[in-house]
Copies of this chain bind each other. A is one copy, B any other.
Amino acid sequence: MAHSVKNGTPSTPRQVPERCAQCTDRAERLFCNLPDEAIERFDEIAMQISYPSRSIVFEEGQRAAGIFVVCSGQIKLAATSRDGRTMILKIAVPGDVLGLSATLNDQPYEVTAETLEPCQIRSVRRRDFLEFLSHYGDVSRHAAQVIAREYHEVFLDARRLALSGSAAGRLAQLLLDWARTSSCGKPELRFTMALTHEELANMAGTSRETVTRLLNQFERDELITRHGSSIVILRPAEMERMVG
């Protein structure tokens, strides 16, 4: 198994159009779905960059230089403490906007963004972005909504960490959240997990060993099944109940 886990992610590192105006995925992306004239202007101030896999887009603590819109690829957002403990906040996917809150408040980025695969990213410098916002009122509303959504996600993280007393609870919760957002719509809670146990541990606020033990436990109890790196949650209700 091992390395194939990474390859299990089939997210197409496909080419994206030169300009946002031509992007066919715009409509379904909260932030990108802007009025035509705004998009035109956005294309003027945005810069398109390709990042190789495992590269750093920006780092925790750097003064915010601007925002980054993910066009293709997956990006890990993580924060670390002085003594090396790591918290993975989320895995950003196409359509997500990075560095928004830090940019708006002119503060340091609160996380480090690292590509998990080759990524296409559009970035806008802080000054340009703020000016852009003041010209196009609607865009501010989009931005507010996007941050509101991010807020909600972080809130859920905090909640999970604070309220699900046991490691088992937090992991269960994590898998449920994940499954639901991943297999959007379909009733069957199958999804492919492109993460190592270590990374899961960092998201659930526990240790690597505990994660492997728990996953095996879950499988023995027939709450989940695994084939390679794909996971199916068999009994969501049971799962839910152990959250706390």
Contacts and interface: CB of A to CB of B under 8 A. Distances in A.
Interface residues of A, number: 44
A45 interface: no
B152 A107 contact: yes
B82 A244 contact: yes
Contact of A161 (B89, B145, B205): B205
A211 to B, nearest CB: 15
Contact of A162 (B105, B145, B151, B205): B205
A126 to B, nearest CB: 13
A57 interface: no
A198 to B, nearest CB: 15
Contacts of A81: 163-164, 243-244
B87 A145 contact: no
Q: Oligomeric state, in number of copies?
A: 2
Contacts of A159: 79, 87, 110
Nearest to A156: B110
A143 B164 CA distance: 31
A85 B143 CA distance: 33
Interface in A125-168: 133-134, 136-138, 140-141, 143-145, 147-152, 154-155, 157-159, 161-165
Interface string A81-97: 11101010100000000
16 contacts: A82-B243, A82-B244, A101-B149, A104-B145, A105-B149, A105-B152, A133-B141, A140-B140, A144-B144, A144-B147, A147-B147, A150-B151, A154-B155, A158-B161, A161-B161, A161-B162
